Structure 1
Amino acid sequence: MFGPINDVLDAIAVNTCFEEKCRAKGCLKACLTFEIVFMLHFMCTILAITNELNTTFQRKEQDIANAMILVGVSKNRLQVLRDNGWNSLIDEVSKFCTKYDLLTPNFDELYVILGRSRWRIAKYTILHHYRVEVFYKIIDWQLQELNNRFDEVTIDLFLGIACLNLVESFSSFEMEKILKLAELYPDDFDKHSMVDLHSQLENYIIDVRDHDKRFSNLKGLSYFSKKLVEAKKHRTYPLLFRLVKFALLLPVTTATVEKTLSAMKLIKSDL
């Protein structure tokens, strides 16, 4: 769309009122710079790496186990891009600039900081600016964000919840991961409760998977929770039921925080 966008901006800059001409000329001038072309290609690469992860978390029915795998995939691909992706990115940007007759800078020259006078130049080269200050820094920000959001505790939490899910006849059931999930709630599961939970899990999986056909073909954890109550098995497996309730509360807690932050944006101002 780069060519058509520039054609439209060029037409606006010629055939419209003065204010729109000025805005269109400013946008057109920005579009025809190496910096904009570089950032467009670079961010397209970054977003392509994290696209599947983002899409997975936006689905109503989340496959948490695969989502955690995609977290690792995104981290690995970002690291590979950081280590080996610079030359291919620059080649791609240079070909694009050649196609549209855009000026490619001399990377050995000193970088001129935007908004400063020509004689107030930076103490590093253009190559250093794009490779270190932009390329490395943005990838490091992405990796840091993924590490902060998906640390070891969070991953254990998500994987434990995934193991509670009864999709495909409890194929994802793993007792060790569920017990590790319970360990994240020490106020509710002390060492004695953990022993009881282990015993309940052993009975529960044989009960609902092999004997009680009422628990087949349920769509998710919320349906499973309702079915436990309807079958009065929440009394038989009280510790398991408590863990299921904690798992169901997590999305609500996350949504509440996000809604609060969104509400804060509405009352924020420059002042």
Structure 2
Amino acid sequence: MKLVQVAKQRLQMLRENGWEPLFEEVSRFCNVFEIEVPNIDSKFKARGRLVRKGAEITNFHHYRVDLFYTVVDMQLLKLNNRFSESSTELLLCVACLNPSNMFGAYDKRKLVRLAELYPADFSIVDLVSLDHQLATYIIDMRTSDEFTSLTSIAALAQQIVKAKKNIVYPMVYRLIILALTLPVATATVERAFSAMKIIKHRLRSKMSYACLNDCLVPYIEKEVFDSIPNEVIMQHYQKMQSRMQSL
């Protein structure tokens, strides 16, 4: 998340102070390869399309405002939409569960805040219990040899179950499961919407929800279905007597 903030600052600095260096670099490139550089103060002439009637603009306005600023602003907008204030807070809270470097990212306050973001999973009583469990949990983790070499939240969840610590710290374990579920759920939803645009297009707009669901699942889970032999699928359909009768 720190790198995301740095990227935003770099883009903002590029927008404010990056035009002149970029223009000079492009001009040098054009001079080396004998490419004609248009007069920056001349009237801009559109190419390859009909020229719309309106206010005349210069090459300077076109290249700096219509192109340079537009591209930089588009990148900033995408970063702000992808990493909004709420999603940034969520990711920073989840990162506190990382067991790397002897749980170096641990922050009890942020972990409690993570639970507060999901009131349906953590009641007020659960939050109080979580606060007490976290204080004991971190001491236990940092003093147990089987937890000192872990490098991921997934490995932490497996080791907790193996050591039966999920019984000792049920609220903490629930928080870890929540953290592991979040990226999977988000990625699956995004993949589903992307696949929906491919499967249900203009020529197949009247597809029923049942048919759409049956087409989406194999498309999204390609790796799973590729591992199933065609012979098994054929035998499965041959055993569907009701389907054969209806045909």
TM interval, shorter chain, is 0.7 to 0.9
The equivalent of 2:217 in structure 1 is none
TM alignment of 1:115-126, pairs within 5 A: 115-116=48-49, 123-126=56-59
In structure 2, the partner of 1:227 is 159
Partners in 2 of 1:86 and 1:160 — Cα distance? 37
State the shift of 1:192 in Å.
2.5
Match of 2:92 among 150, 159, 162: 159
Match of 1:109 in 2: 42
In the TM superposition, what is the alpha-carbon distance from 1:172 to its structure 2 partner?
1.0
**Secondary structure of the corresponding residue to residue 135 of structure 2:** helix
* Partner of residue 217, structure 1: 149
**Which residue number in structure 2 is paired with residue 247 of structure 1?**
179
RMSD between superposed Cα atoms in Å: 2.1
For 2:169, which of 237, 243, 248 is the aligned residue?
A: 237
1:136 is aligned, of 69, 74, 78, to 69
Unaligned regions of 5+ residues in structure 2, if any?
204-247
User: C-alpha displacement at 1:269, in angstroms?
Assistant: 6.3
- The DSSP-based 3-state class of the residue aligned with 2:76 is helix
Q: 1:117 to 1:214 in 2, by over 3 A?
A: closer
CA shift in 2, pair 1:141/1:240, >3 Å: same
Alpha-carbon deviations, 1:51-107, whole Å to 9, x = none? Answer: xxxxxxxxxxxxxxxxx0100010000000000000000000000110111111111
180-189 or 68-77, larger mean C-alpha shift: 180-189
Change (3 A) 1:97 1:247: same
Q: How many residues align?
A: 203
Please name the residue that 1:33 is paired with: none
Alignment of 1:267 with 2:199, yes or no, is yes
How far did 1:263 drift? 2.1
**Which amino acid in 2 is paired with 1:237?**
Y
C-alpha spacing 1:228/1:110, structure 2 compared with 1 (3 Å):
same
Q: Would you say the 8 A contact 1:113–1:122 is kept in 2?
A: no
How far, CA to CA, are the matches of 1:122 and 1:129 in structure 2?
A: 12
Match of 1:84 in 2: 17
Q: Return the alpha-carbon distance in structure 2 between the equivalents of residues 158 and 118 of structure 1.
A: 47
How much identity, in percent, do the aligned residues show? 46
Q: Give the partner amino acid of 1:195.
A: V
Unaligned runs of 5+ residues in structure 1 are: 1-67
Single out whichever of 69-78 and 150-159 deviates more from structure 2.
Answer: 150-159
Corresponding position: 1:178 with 2:99: no
The residue matched to 2:57 in structure 1 has which SS? strand
Cα gap change, 1:190/1:127 in structure 2, threshold over 3 Å: closer, same or farther? same
**Please, which moves more after superposition, 248-257 or 140-149?**
248-257
Q: Check conservation: 1:112, 1:122, Cα contact below 8 A.
A: no
Runs of at least 4 residues of structure 1 off by over 6 A? 268-271
CA distance in 1 between counterparts of 2:115 and 2:51 reads: 62
Q: CA deviation at 1:268?
A: 6.8
Question: What letter matches 1:159 in structure 2?
Answer: L
**TM-score (structure 2 length as normaliser):** 0.76
Cα distance in 1 for residues equivalent to 2:102 and 2:11 = 35
